[in-house]
A and B are shown apart, each in its own frame.
Chain A
Amino acid sequence: MALNKTSRKETEVKIALAGNPNSGKTTLFNELTGSRQHVGNWPGVTVEKKTGHAFYKEYALEVIDLPGTYSLGAYSEDEVVARDFLTAGQYDLVLDIINSANLERNLYFTIQLLEMGVDLVAVLNMADEAEKKGIKINKHKLSQMLGAPVVETVASKGRGIENLLAETIKNRDLTEPALEINYGAEIEDLITEIAKLFMEYDFTNQVNHRWAAVKLIEHDPEAVKLLEREVGSSKAKKIKSLIAERELKAKDDFDNIIIDKKYELINKIITESVKAPAAGQEPENMSDKIDAVVTNKYLGIPIFLVVMWAIFKFTFTLGDPLIGYIETLFEVIGGWAGGLLTGLGASPLVASFITDGIIGGVGSVLVFIPNIFLLFLAIGILEDSGYMSRAAYIMDKVMSKLGLHGKSFIPMVIGFGCNVPGIMATRTLENKRDRIISILINPLMSCSARLPVYVVFAGALFPNHGSTVVFSLYLLGIIMAVVMSGVFNKLLFKGERSHFVMELPPYRFPTAKGVFIHMWEKTGAFLKKAGTIIFSVVVLIWVLANLPLGVEYASANSFIGHFGRFVAPIFKPLGFGSWQAASSLVFGILAKEVVVGTLGVVYAAGETGLRTVLATQFTPLAAYSFMAMVLLYTPCIASLGAIKSETQSWKWTLVTAGYLFVLAWVVAFIIYQGGMLLGLGA
């Protein structure tokens, strides 16, 4: 399946990494390309294909990292991405990444690729883990039986990468015949007949015809579609009825025979090329011992809550003093810049732009770098350890009451970092209904962009209970997500229950490299956001606060003041009817950090620090109501964009934007008015 080289240089090679989840594809991708893609220890970390470049001698390699998949069956959206890429054949060579310690199941995928006629190099990754288990693989024999080159690597330690590159270049023009498995007389006869019909009907598609016939016998919906497209539906129907007719006569299910024969071959390969300690059930290992506790019927959920609480405690206790320093730093810079600019005879307008606009606005947001940093450090450790899929397991019981299952919980946890990858992570859900509901509720998971809002308000008005207040908001988000998925389940969809199947990968000690990659990437994204969108909006707001010409800066008569006053009545019953709060919420839809940035500008907080101002402008009850509003209301533009592209529907995008605003308003109303009734308004 080598690419047509005529249009490209001889030294350009395009390779794709494919294989089971948790076989180390992304780690290897990072090693090969020097990229810093996020690696995690749960099925579904990579949900889209990623491209990187590697160089070896005079060759330039384009490397594509595909989402992990157990087979070409493609039951979920991320697997479809991988399958479509592999069947389209736009590459020179596939590196099939195999977890050497888990050979049987990984080879099931390898066999499918070979049967399809994919030219591949089998990469026995995690060779060290196999060694530890006493598994000895005869590479030569394995290569012979598969009809494909075999290379050994330990991607996590960077071992075998040079050799892999050399082998890749050596085999870039590999064209091996497709693997043929003997499926027994009944099926073989049928394959021959289908092949004849292919000829007769002029089926000329470039896919391997034997493979296409086998897929048709398996009733693979994609193969059926391909056939209909190529020969028309009436001829396709003839082939389908031929298969149905044979199936009726046969005494065993064709599907079963095909799967059994594949495993038979795999077992033969393993018996002849692998030496392993006596097969059968392994004794309880470390992971099982940990699981016995963390997945316990009674302890599971409390442990999960403690883990969450520990993450926030960690983020705050360590972050708070650092915020203090940075805040002081900005205040000093603000005061110093103000003084300097006035001293230099700069116009008051320029001085105001620097101190109120840039330092008050962008500075108010940048103060929170330590929190963002620590939060992603904690999430990185969580993802790398393997606890993620356990959290999904634990929550299955709760989620299934709502018609979802545990796997839908993973996108929610990812959403704590940022809702955009959270929404994309729903690709791993096999069922369309599960996916839509999971997308609709994902913005309820409190992302890192809301964190600055909480921290500034909690610091200003709840100085002694900061982390408890913030933790309660995260919980409020989870509870609302649970309630709303129940509502959507009742309102929107009936029946069609999906089933829960998910691998629980062995626990791994998080590597410093993996965790730091995650942390840098996210902190970098936060800085970039501060430099682009937050900066632009802050400048816009500063301009609006200075217009019309001659108006007192950020007064009720400025443009932003007029605008805020126009919107404010909506928020009055919620306890924050000031024009400043109202305009910050409106602009906050551009990015949630902008809420803090806007408040910084309109309160001219450049020289005093935002917390000091807020303490005089809000009561604790109003502040809590405001935080609940920021948590729940209309998601940021980036999230809405992700919802649009994942659902391919404006309807769902608008539904999300609308229902969340109403929900936020109602919840904030109950908090504020309820609090007033209870006498908490002081």
Chain B
Amino acid sequence: MPLSMLRPGETGWIKEIVGGRKAKGKLNDLGFVSGKQVKIYRSSGGPLIVGIGDNRIALGKGMAHKVIVDTEGCEN
């Protein structure tokens, strides 16, 4: 499911990044790669705040749709 559907406090594992070269490249740069664990810190109203390890990334809804996650543990 897309990352945008997770609720605050929930974690997921990135399965894949969909979308154009630019969006994908930008997400990859910031550490959004398959197999990574992400946690949602905020999702109400504006953009999401997503935690990858120690990093906190603000992610617009459009971008969050491009990140496909699994909520079950999945070791890639």
Contact = CB atoms under 8 A, between A and B. Distances in A.
Interface of A: 70-71, 73, 75, 101-102, 104-105, 108, 133, 219, 255-256, 259-260, 263, 279-282, 285, 287-288, 291-292, 295, 297, 389, 392-394, 396-397, 400, 405-406, 430, 497, 499-504, 506
A263 B25 CA distance: 14
B49 to A, nearest CB: 7
Contacts of A291: 41-42, 49, 56
Contacts of B34: 256, 260
B55 A102 contact: yes
Contact of A281 (B11, B28, B29, B42): B11
Which of B24, B33, B42 has the largest count of A CB atoms less than 10 A from its CB? B33
B8 to A, nearest CB: 10
A393 B46 contact: yes
A260 B33 contact: yes
Contact of B49 (A259, A393, A400, A430): A393
A430 B22 contact: yes
Contact of B59 (A282, A430, A500): A500
Nearest to B66: A499
B47 to A, nearest CB: 5
B55 A503 contact: yes
Contacts of A259: 28, 33
A431 to B, nearest CB: 9
* Chain B facing A: main interface SS: mixed
A582 B51 CA distance: 55
Given A260-B33, A297-B44, A502 B58 contact: yes
Contacts of B33: 259-260, 263
Contacts of B45: 297, 397
A71 B55 contact: no
Interface string B31-68: 10111010101101111010101111111101100000
Given A260-B33, A396-B46, A499 B56 contact: no
A396 B31 contact: no
A287 B26 CA distance: 24
B23 interface: yes
A295 B22 contact: no
Given A133-B54, A259-B33, A499-B60, 10 more contacts: A71-B28, A105-B55, A260-B33, A282-B53, A288-B51, A297-B45, A389-B58, A501-B63, A502-B57, A503-B56
A71 B25 contact: yes
8 contacts: A279-B53, A280-B37, A393-B49, A396-B46, A497-B62, A500-B58, A503-B30, A504-B49
A125 B12 CA distance: 31
A73 B29 contact: yes
Interface of B: 11, 16, 21-31, 33-35, 37, 39, 41-42, 44-47, 49, 51, 53-60, 62-63
A280 B75 CA distance: 13
A73 B27 CA distance: 11
Contact of B56 (A256, A297, A504): A504
A506 B51 CA distance: 12
Contact of B26 (A73, A256, A393): A73
Contacts of B42: 291-292, 295
Contacts of B31: 104-105, 108
Given A393-B49, A406-B47, A501 B55 contact: no
Nearest to B24: A255
A73 B49 contact: no
B60 A71 contact: no
Nearest to A73: B25
A105 B31 CA distance: 6
Nearest to B28: A259
B75 to A, nearest CB: 12
Contacts of B46: 297, 393-394, 396-397, 400, 406
A467 B11 CA distance: 46
B44 to A, nearest CB: 5
Contacts of A288: 41, 51, 56
A102 B52 CA distance: 11
Nearest to B62: A499
A400 B56 contact: no
B19 to A, nearest CB: 9
B57 A504 contact: yes
A493 B22 CA distance: 20
A183 B7 CA distance: 36
A70 B37 CA distance: 20
Nearest to A392: B58
B60 A396 contact: yes
Contacts of A499: 23, 26, 60, 62-63
A501 to B, nearest CB: 5
